[in-house]
Amino acid sequence: MSSRNEDMIYHAVPSFARFIIDNHFDEYIATEVRTSIEMKIPVWEKFAHLPIETLIENSRDFFGQFLKDAAGNSLRGNLERSINHYKLDVLKNVSRQQITPEDFLLTHEARKKTLRGYLHLYTTDATLMITILDELDHIFLQFSVAATSAYINLLNNIADEEKSIKEKLYTTSPGSYYIYDLENDTQILPSERLFEKLGYKKEDHYGNNHFFKQIMHPADLANSLNYIAALGNVVEGEVRFFEYRLKAMGGEYRWIRNYETVHKWSVTGMPAQMLGVAFDITQEHFYEEEIQSKDEALAEAQNLAHIGTFAWDLEKNKLTGFSHNLEKLGLKQGNTFEEVIGCIHNTDKQRVLQIFEHAIAGKTDYECEYRCTIDDRERIIWSKGKVVYVDEKPKFLKATVMDVTNQHQMVRKLQRSEELYKQAQVLNKIGNWSWKIGSDRVQWSDELFRVYGLQPQSEQISLERYCSFIHPEDLELRKNMLDEQISNPGHREYYFRINAADGKEKIIYGQSEVLIDEHGNPYKMIGTCQDVTAQKTLEKNLYENT
């Protein structure tokens, strides 16, 4: 299914919109309102006296309806309703006269920017991100073209009742309006406001029919000629647009977008004059370049992290939509599924096949790890993806893969280190503990439970429970030491006796340390306890026998 179509039926955006509705609806509404205010959209300035909470609540239904229509793939209806409400002047909270083309364009840009902000929460699949961004561009282009067309048509009707089209255009919109004569290749109503915004004075361009082309970027000039030639097949009511760069008085180039519709026809039925409006879209291009930069950074991050993405065309049985670093993961552009499966370790192959088949049959996501041989080395690969359906038939399997061999090796080393640490504690009858100062719970290691005559992790240890083990003659001294160490943080060593849960009296050698935060306040105490009963008993016997 094409993501670009006149019926505005999209493949990726509906699920993205549903994700926002289900997980971030209230936050999204507030974010779009704040983004609209930050972008200084003129129509929002009329409500600057209202609290932000009121603006968010008043916007909930309108913004929410857009998300719901996007999730239901019914944006065409949303667009038609919005345009119809504008034509009938039945807009909520604002009149038609208060809205300008700048409001349309910036509102669409604010909404697009807000949606982009949730994209990384929805997916890390670069291919899906690009698809969604492409569809969002198409959606808001349709909205901008339709809104501007409605606006221009409205101005045409008004202009018939006014003495001067120029006067009316200059008093109703911040956009730069003009009339372009195709036959004579000249502006009969110049874009004086545009030239003024670029820093030029009237004497810089007055009487110079070629001034516009003289300040156009050379790379855009050839495209403008192609655009003009294509106007020969424009139809009544159609709006065309063209983007280009103009050189400002200061020497820098500004991005401009023109929207045009036929103002007058020749006797032969060809367009003779075009009525247009020009907008400075430099900021919009900045946002697009920022997204592109982030996309490049994402690709670099994928490369560094040994992550790649691909799409498996289920009908053609070929890998497509291929990120460049997948060859490092044993995959190649054009591989069949059988070729990919052939590289998987025999022990894992059947399990992976079952996971893929289940995902295709159940229309669900899949996630798995498997071993495969890459450059004569066994690697561990993690993969996650989903099946894309078109007309109720599985069309693509889009997936992300990552080499997690090093992570597995690190986990095994950590597990081995932990095992050795626990063995050392058992051999030395030493356990460790931690206590968040002010709380009632003390964390004990497995061996410390054994020292106190308990099964490892058999109960939660409270301060009261800990104190119940201390020999009555040593209890007061131990409590005082705890209080003193909290008041004067530092390292302490000490001995005390306990009556263990198994009935044995033991001598404990302890060490502890108080941790302090960035403000110098104690917040946690950590320490160790070692059963030195046998050692102290031996020392006592030796002393008594000498």
The 3-state secondary structure of 357-404 reads: HHHHHHCCEEEEEEEEEECCEEEEEEEEEEEEEECCEEEEEEEEEEEC
DSSP summary character for residue 320: E
pLDDT value of residue 439? 92
The 3-state secondary structure of 408-467 reads: HHHHHHHHHHHHHHHHHHHHHCEEEEEEECCCCEEEECHHHHHHCCCCCCCCCEEHHHHH
For every residue of 124-161, DSSP letters joined together read --HHHHHHHHHHHHHHHHHHHHHHHHHHHHHHHHHHTT
Enumerate residue ranges in the chain where pLDDT < 70.
1-6, 89-93, 96-97, 157-174, 190, 289-308, 310, 319-334, 363, 374, 405, 407-428, 546
pLDDT value of residue 345? 79
Residue with tokens 């009555």: 472
Do domains 175-285 and 307-403 share one topology? The answer is yes
Rounded distance, CA 162 to CA 202, Å? 25
User: How distant, in Å, are the alpha carbons of 42, 80, 258, 272, 521 from that of 158?
Assistant: 22, 22, 21, 21, 72
Distance between terminal CA atoms of the chain? 96
Rounded distance, CA 57 to CA 52, Å? 9
Fold exhibited by the domain 175-285: Beta-Lactamase (3.30.450)
- Which residues, 6+ apart, have CB-to-CB distance to 131 below 8 Å? 3, 11, 12
359 three-state secondary structure = helix
pLDDT value of residue 453? 92
Rounded distance, CA 275 to CA 261, Å? 6
Class of domain 424-544: alpha beta
Average pLDDT score, the chain: 81
pLDDT value of residue 336? 73
209-254 tens-digit pLDDT: 778 888 889 988 888 888 888 888 888 889 998 888 999 998 899 9
Rounded distance, CA 66 to CA 449, Å? 59
In the beta sheet, which residues pair with residue 180?
187, 274
Residue 29, number of CB atoms within 10 A of its CB: 22
pLDDT value of residue 546? 64
134-156 tens-digit pLDDT: 989 898 888 888 878 877 777 77
Rounded distance, CA 343 to CA 370, Å? 10
Class of domain 13-160: mainly alpha
Quote the pTM value.
Answer: 0.33
Rounded distance, CA 457 to CA 447, Å? 10
Task: Please tell me the CATH code under which domain 307-403 is placed.
Answer: 3.30.450.20
**Which secondary-structure segment (H or E) carries 531?**
strand 522-531
For the chain, which residues make up each domain, given as ranges? Answer: 13-160, 175-285, 307-403, 424-544
